[in-house]
Amino acid sequence: MNKPIILCFFFILLFSLPGLAQNKPILHLKYEQNYTPTYREVIEMYRLLDATYENAKLIENGLTDCGKPLHTFIINSEKEFNPEKIREQGKAVLLINNGIHPGEPAGIDASLQFADDLLRNKNGLATLLKNTVVVIIPAYNIGGLLNRSAFNRANQTTPYETGFRGNAANYDLNRDFVKCDSENAKSFTMIFQKWNPDVFLDTHTTNGSDHKYSVTLIAPQPDMFPPAQKTFLRKKMIPSLYKEMKKGEYELIPYVMWMSGNPQKGILMGQFGGRYSSGYANLFNSYGMMTENHIYKRYADRVKSCNQFITVLAKFISDNAGEVINSRKRGFEEMISAKTYAIDTQLDTTRFSKVEFKGYAADNNQISKVTGLKHFDYDRSQPFVDSIPFYSTYNSIDSVEIPKYYILPQAYKRVIERLALNKIQFTKVKNDTIIKVKVDYIDEFSNAKQPSNGHYFHNIVTTQSEIQNIKYYAGDLIIPVRQQGIKYILETLEPKAKDSFFRWNFFDNILDRREYFSSYGFEENALKYLNEHPEFKRKFQEKKKSDSEFANSHRAQLAYIYYNTEWSEKSYKRYPVGRIY
């Protein structure tokens, strides 16, 4: 066979393989015309990609609150879509979530564009599939996306129509991951646990500040991870993403979280708990992050800058797949061998780096064209470039000793359901028995003044601990803590953790009493108790002598006897999750 024939055969073979040919795009997106697709159009476009390419598949994964299924779109190098088999091949998994807030749709368009480009091998992009599988959730908040209007987002003018922030049950889905009230969150949890992504990206838009950048990043906060992952993030992953973005059309900066109302005085890297998508991902040592596109930029620029970031991120994962996977593996090992766990942290304001920031001068004396009055605004006639402080270090200010087991009464079905969804391993008590455990009593707690996503979140929680012998029953849960879900277990079952089940009201039934005393009926038992317990009677008499108000109150004296003796119920304010060390 001569050389021209060999070359001809090679190119025929090359361009017949799925995903390797440089084909024309098959999707016709309209973001340049300030249009973002409807839910029906989004799913139809992914179905078209599914029908066109053998190495892509659109799958339904459980229902959402509006009754419609939650989809995933899987892109692999071959016709294999089983996550376990893909894992066996040593591939890293990138999971991308879009439309959690449907009024922020840039990620929906960007992911469609990325999927089309990847599958048609634009600029050789399909090579990243050698080491990576890409899983895309086309639209997470389907109910909100169906609730489409030109008046859903008061702070933006483009695209003309967008979806609504609340879902069909009016949940803000980016506050629902740990508490998992919505059907959307339950279906998402099953997707996340099925794929166990190495990297997770959630796409958003922000109107929090004005500057020259079309895209900003809420990166995985390194201090929320074990040492191996912290080092990988600080020294390699985060710097690489910023460096590679700078080579493209759209430069990347950290999400602008002000220190004091003015970015020139510094911005900070936030720590986001398990209620948020990225915080939830971090509970399983997945590198969870968010893009925040800039609402005041052209919609086309928002989409294209988001697409650029997705491409950069996917290439980084592919180029460093082994290190990404192994850093997570070492992170799990470090967590499982740790003795303590930080449940509260504080930003270290003495440590910072410098970042270049291209912004506009803030002005409190702008004259409103609507009201004619002075108001805060940015003066785009006064751009600036400045090196500003960036604070990204957190120190632990409260920690717990990691127990060997938690014991959870079977009565708490909602908690058990969430543990099972997250593949937390547990066994069950075989026979009714008494076990010595360490338990917390809730000293103080405060509720937010306004409900948060259907709950009155406990902002402040203080506790004290006791060792007690408590009766447990056959069927109660024994949860070994040192397993792959260790961070999720600690963050949900430790009552003072930032997004614990206690803070989200799953155990509020312990916060009021079930027994009480009557000023008339308790009289005889109180007298009997005093006569049978002379030491307690002595303390009671001393209090009467030292406290005149107490001495003149029949009710107060009976209450003292009731609440300071065996009459008082032990279960009042006793957090029901026991610890075994």
Which residues fall within 8 angstroms of residue 85, CB to CB, at 6 or more apart?
none
Q: Is the dihedral of CA 568, 573, 578, 581 positive or negative?
A: negative
Q: What single letter denotes the amino acid at residue 374? A: K
Yes or no: domain 17-337 corresponds to CATH 3.40.630.10: yes
First to last CA, the chain: 74
Which is nearest to 136 in space by CA: 268, 342, 306, 374? Answer: 306
- Strand bridging mode 287-294 / 199-206: parallel
Which residues fall within 8 angstroms of residue 162, CB to CB, at 6 or more apart?
36, 102, 103, 104, 105, 148, 149, 152, 153, 156
Strand-pair partners of 217: 254, 291
User: In this predicted structure, what is the pLDDT of residue 44?
Assistant: 98
Reading the block at residue 501, the tokens are 């089940």
User: In this predicted structure, what is the pLDDT of residue 22?
Assistant: 61
User: In this predicted structure, what is the pLDDT of residue 13?
Assistant: 40
DSSP label at 68? P
Which DSSP string do the residues of 482-550 spell out, in sequence order? SSTTHHHHHHHHSTTSTT-TTTTTTTGGGGS-S----TTTTHHHHHHHHHH-HHHHHHHHHHHHH-HHH
* pLDDT per residue as tens, the chain (581 positions): 454 444 444 333 444 444 445 689 999 999 999 999 999 999 999 999 999 999 999 999 999 999 999 999 999 999 999 999 999 999 999 999 999 999 999 999 999 999 999 999 999 999 999 999 999 999 999 999 999 999 998 887 789 899 999 999 999 999 999 999 999 999 999 999 999 999 999 999 998 789 999 999 999 999 999 999 999 999 999 999 999 999 999 999 999 998 887 788 899 999 999 999 999 999 999 999 999 999 999 999 999 999 999 999 999 999 999 999 999 999 999 999 999 999 999 999 999 999 999 999 888 888 888 999 988 888 888 999 999 999 999 999 999 999 999 999 999 999 999 999 999 999 999 999 999 999 999 999 998 889 999 999 999 999 999 999 999 999 999 999 999 999 999 999 999 999 999 999 999 999 999 999 998 899 999 999 999 999 999 999 999 999 999 999 999 999 999 999 999 999 999 999 999 99
- Strand bridging mode 405-408 / 578-580: antiparallel
Reading the block at residue 135, the tokens are 């899983």
**Side-chain half-sphere exposure of 434, counting CA atoms within 13 A:** 4
Q: What single letter denotes the amino acid at residue 449? A: K
Q: What single letter denotes the amino acid at residue 515? A: E
User: In this predicted structure, what is the pLDDT of residue 363?
Assistant: 83
User: In this predicted structure, what is the pLDDT of residue 262?
Assistant: 79
Question: What is the rounded distance in angstroms from the CA atom of residue 152 to the CA atom of residue 326?
Answer: 43
Quick check: 439 and 468 in contact, CB under 8 A? yes
Reading the block at residue 143, the tokens are 């109910």
Q: What are the CA-CA distances from residue 118 to residues 77, 157, 353, 379 (Å)? A: 10, 30, 36, 40
User: In this predicted structure, what is the pLDDT of residue 323?
Assistant: 98
Buried b (16+ CB within 10 A) or exposed e, 93-102: bbbbbbbbbb
Sequence ranges of the domains in the chain? 17-337, 353-395, 404-581
Across the beta sheet with 267-268, what order do the strands follow? 267-268, 374-391, 353-367
